[in-house]
């Protein structure tokens, strides 16, 4: 349909292929030369990428058919741990996390179309898999924090991680067939494609507002303030280019009565549109968070400076007039105050620094303040810390989710642990225990920041591995690979590392690789073949 290419070329210049006739009519048959040319271009790009990726895999693989993007190399286990078992546990965490994320995504489409009651068995399966995965990530975090004293204990923990990942995958695999019968994409392909086209158009309309929000952040704040979303619009556009091609192919398949093929192309389009929406929403959310941080900062500074005065009066005349924590708080507050008037600044980072200084002072004053005043001050710090923690967690979650084709186990483990501490902070806050909730929120933020750092490192390493000789991938396919939207080597390389040919089974949707679907490791690559 021509409006895909027209809308994208209008909004983003000549980034997308023209997918159809200029008169807006439904494309199909031999009259539409643009779609075959676009597919041919993707084929050539995919072939180049597959060749380059296979060379890299051959040179670096240490375990059969297991490649961990980012994080420690699979052959480099922690001291005292079995290298093979450690590598397998790390790879299983990544694969299972991908399976759960994809299942959650497609479950959302099923709930929207068929309702929560019809989707309840699959919601339960995803919840079970998520819980098993969370426990496995917790075990991995414990290993990363402190190695076990003996090898037998380390093996037991690694075995537990592998077992829980297997259980999570098995639960999703067990209901994937029933899930397919609920969604019935092959039977309901025309309606499903129409729904995806509507979602695409709605998101396309949202992009200009997000671009304006990003421009406003660039004008108002320091670069570090909008750094987590600086590239989000470009990446969203890239996902939309891929969605354009996939939707055009899905629509042509529907028009020709090839509904199994349409289902495959539709799943690819759904994944691309979903990630584009995450990226666009993330920009708008970041703008709102920075505005809220800037609004909260003056009161936060005033409260911390009052605490500083109280601490100074308390310690006056003592042998240690200005302990290290109080002196550091005084320095930080002065720097933040000066920074707010010297030019563009990062209100989120400034609020974080004020909270850290305030928490240190709160610790000094906790013993002498009455319970009511003490808890009131801690609640204020908790509200401020909750904003910075929520923002950090959201940024890390979005980045990992939209770059999961390149993000390894370390970033995902830290992100899972950040989520655990955040949920604990919320529970304690709801129970009116601000003094217990505050350190949990601060820990969640620190782990989320670390997760984002590790994930960005993984993506840089992934891009460097492609090397200067890699011709790259056009048509948005590169973004689909980076986002984990397509599996098993970009429609051309199966889990065994052997390449295939794009289009070998287009009539039935049976080409190697393909988009991810609801299910565990044994079934989530069933559309298009390969995992």
pLDDT digits (tens, 9 = 90+) for 146-160: 877 788 888 999 999
Are 273 and 244 within 8 A, CB to CB? Answer: no
Q: How far is CA 143 from the centre of its chain?
A: 23
- Supply the range of the domain harboring residue 371: 287-466
**Does residue 322 lie within any of the structural domains?**
yes
Look-up of token digits 């003592």: 318
Tell me how far apart the alpha carbons of residues 461 and 91 are, in angstroms, rounded to a whole number.
17
- Cα–Cα distance measured from residue 63 to residue 75, given in angstroms and rounded to the nearest whole number: 8
Residue at 301 is within a domain: yes
Q: What is the mean pLDDT of residues 369-382?
A: 81
The pLDDT of residue 225 is above 50? yes
Distance CA 521, CA 129 (A): 12
When pLDDT is averaged across residues 493-502 and rounded to a whole number, the result is: 31
Q: 27 Cβ partners below 8 Å, 6+ apart?
A: 1, 2, 19, 20, 21, 34, 35, 248, 251, 252
pLDDT at 370: 65
Report the C-alpha gap between 413 and 421 in whole angstroms. 13
Number of domains in the chain: 1
In a domain, 314, yes or no: yes
Q: Range with the lowest mean pLDDT among 436-440, 456-460, 510-514?
A: 510-514
Confidence band, pLDDT 50/70/90 cuts, at residue 69: very low
- pTM reported for the whole predicted model: 0.81
**Cα–Cα distance between 267 and 273 in angstroms, integer?**
10
pLDDT band at 102 (very low <50, low <70, confident <90, very high): very high
pLDDT (0 to 100) of residue 23: 36
**In the prediction, which pLDDT does 81 show?**
75
Give the pLDDT of residue 38.
40
Say yes or no to pLDDT of 419 above 90.
yes
Of the pLDDT bands very low, low, confident and very high (cuts 50, 70, 90), residue 324 is low
Mean pLDDT for the stretch of residues 21-26:
35
Residue 347, pLDDT above cutoff 60: yes
For residue 300, count other CB atoms closer than 10 A to its CB.
Answer: 25
At residue 388 the predicted structure's pLDDT band, cuts being 50, 70 and 90, is very high
Is 373 exposed, middle or buried, given 0-12, 13-18 or 19+ CB atoms closer than 10 A? exposed
State how far the Cα of 309 lies from the Cα of 367, in Å rounded to an integer: 16
Instruction: Point out which residues pair with 487 in neighbouring strands.
Output: 514
Q: Which of the residue ranges 16-20, 137-141, 295-299 would you say has the lowest mean pLDDT?
A: 16-20
Q: Is the pLDDT of residue 348 over 80?
A: yes
Residue 16 resides in a domain: no
pLDDT of 104 higher than 70: yes
What is the arithmetic mean of pLDDT over 356-363?
A: 89
Q: Kindly tell me if the per-residue pLDDT of 206 is higher than 60.
A: yes
pLDDT band, residue 274 (cuts 50/70/90): very high
φ/ψ (deg, to 5) at 14: -95, 45
What's the average model confidence in pLDDT over 38-61?
37
**3-state secondary structure string across 265-281:** HHHHHHHHHHHHHHHHH
Under a CB-based contact definition with an 8 Å cutoff, are residues 437 and 375 in contact?
no
Residue 475 has pLDDT above 90, yes or no: no
Residue 363: its pLDDT value, please?
80
Please tell me the distance from the alpha carbon of residue 404 to that of residue 455, in angstroms, as a whole number. Answer: 9
Report the pLDDT averaged over residues 335-358: 94
What pLDDT is stored for residue 317 in this prediction? Answer: 54
Check whether 143 has a pLDDT greater than 80.
yes
What pLDDT score does 323 carry?
Answer: 59
Q: What is the spatial distance between Cα 356 and Cα 381, in angstroms, rounded to a whole number?
A: 9
Q: Tell which residue, 200, 185, 204, 190, has the closest CA to residue 251.
A: 190
Instruction: For residue 256, tell me if it sits in a domain.
Output: no
Higher pLDDT, 76 or 97: 97
pLDDT band at 316, cuts 50/70/90? low
Nearest to 241 by CA among 12, 32, 451: 12
Distance, in Å, from the CA atom of 61 to the CA atom of 67, rounded to the nearest integer, reads: 7
> What pLDDT was estimated at residue 26?
33
Q: Looking at 1-10, 100-109, 432-441, which range is the least confident one? A: 1-10
What average pLDDT does the segment 209-225 reach?
97
Mean pLDDT of 360-370: 78
Neighbours of 118 (CB within 10 A): 12
> Mean pLDDT lowest for which of 227-231, 363-367, 380-384?
363-367
In a domain, 296, yes or no: yes
pLDDT at 9 over 50: no
pLDDT for res 408? 96
Most confident of 26-30, 58-62, 227-231, 486-490: 227-231
Query: Is residue 168 included in any domain, yes or no?
Result: no
- In the predicted structure, residue 50 carries a pLDDT above the cut 50: no
Residue 51 pLDDT greater than 80, yes or no: no
Average pLDDT, the chain: 81
- What integer is the mean pLDDT of 282-307? 96
Whether the per-residue pLDDT at 497 is higher than 50: the answer is no
pLDDT of residue 529: 45
Q: What pLDDT shows up at residue 64?
A: 30
Tell me how far apart the alpha carbons of residues 330 and 333 are, in angstroms, rounded to a whole number: 5
């Amino acid at each position: 349909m021509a409006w895909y290419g027209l809308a994208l070329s209008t909004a983003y210049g000549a980034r997308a292929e023209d997918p159809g006739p200029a008169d807006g009519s439904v494309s199909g048959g031999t009259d539409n030369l643009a779609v075959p040319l676009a597919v041919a271009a993707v084929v050539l790009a995919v072939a180049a990428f597959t060749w380059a990726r296979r060379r890299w895999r051959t040179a670096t693989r240490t375990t059969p058919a297991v490649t961990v993007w980012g994080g420690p190399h699979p052959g480099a286990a922690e001291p005292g741990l079995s290298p093979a078992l450690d590598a397998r546990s790390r790879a299983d965490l990544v694969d299972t996390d991908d399976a759960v994320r994809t299942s959650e995504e497609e479950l959302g489409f099923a709930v929207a179309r068929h309702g929560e009651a019809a989707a309840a068995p699959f919601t339960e399966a995803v919840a079970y898999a998520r819980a098993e995965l969370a426990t496995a990530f917790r075990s991995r975090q414990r290993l990363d924090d402190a190695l076990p004293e003996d090898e037998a204990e380390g093996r037991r923990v690694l075995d537990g991680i592998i077992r829980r990942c297997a259980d999570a995958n098995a639960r999703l695999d067990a209901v994937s067939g029933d899930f397919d019968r609920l969604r019935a994409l092959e039977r309901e392909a025309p309606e499903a494609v129409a729904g995806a086209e509507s979602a695409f158009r709605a998101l396309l309309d949202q992009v200009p507002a997000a671009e304006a929000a990003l421009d406003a952040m660039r004008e108002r704040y320091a670069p570090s303030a909008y750094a987590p979303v600086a590239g989000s619009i470009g990446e969203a556009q890239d996902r939309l280019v891929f969605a354009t091609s996939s939707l055009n192919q899905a629509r042509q398949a529907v028009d020709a009565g090839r509904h199994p093929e349409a289902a495959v192309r539709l799943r690819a389009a759904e994944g691309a549109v979903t990630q584009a929406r995450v990226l666009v929403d993330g920009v708008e959310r970041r703008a709102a968070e920075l505005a809220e941080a800037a609004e909260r900062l003056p009161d936060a500074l005033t409260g911390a400076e009052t605490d500083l005065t109280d601490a100074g009066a308390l310690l006056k005349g003592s042998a240690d007039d200005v302990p290290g924590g109080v002196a550091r708080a005084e320095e930080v507050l002065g720097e933040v105050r000066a920074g707010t008037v010297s030019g563009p600044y990062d209100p989120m980072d400034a609020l974080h620094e004020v909270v850290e200084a305030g928490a240190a002072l709160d610790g000094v004053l906790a013993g002498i303040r009455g319970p009511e005043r003490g808890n009131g001050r801690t609640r204020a710090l908790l509200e401020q810390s909750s904003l910075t923690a929520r923002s950090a967690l959201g940024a890390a979650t979005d980045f990992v989710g939209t770059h999961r084709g390149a993000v390894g186990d370390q970033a995902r483990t830290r992100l899972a642990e950040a989520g655990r501490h955040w949920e604990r902070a919320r529970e304690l806050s709801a129970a009116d225990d601000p003094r217990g909730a505050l350190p949990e929120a601060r820990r969640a933020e620190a782990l989320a920041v670390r997760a984002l750092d590790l994930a960005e490192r993984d993506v840089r390493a992934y891009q460097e591995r492609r090397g200067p000789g890699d011709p790259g991938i056009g048509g948005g396919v590169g973004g689909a690979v980076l986002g984990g939207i397509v599996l098993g080597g970009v429609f051309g390389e199966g889990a065994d590392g052997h390449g295939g040919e794009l289009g070998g089974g287009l009539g039935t949707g049976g080409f190697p690789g393909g988009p991810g679907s609801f299910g565990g490791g044994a079934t989530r690559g069933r559309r298009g073949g390969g995992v």
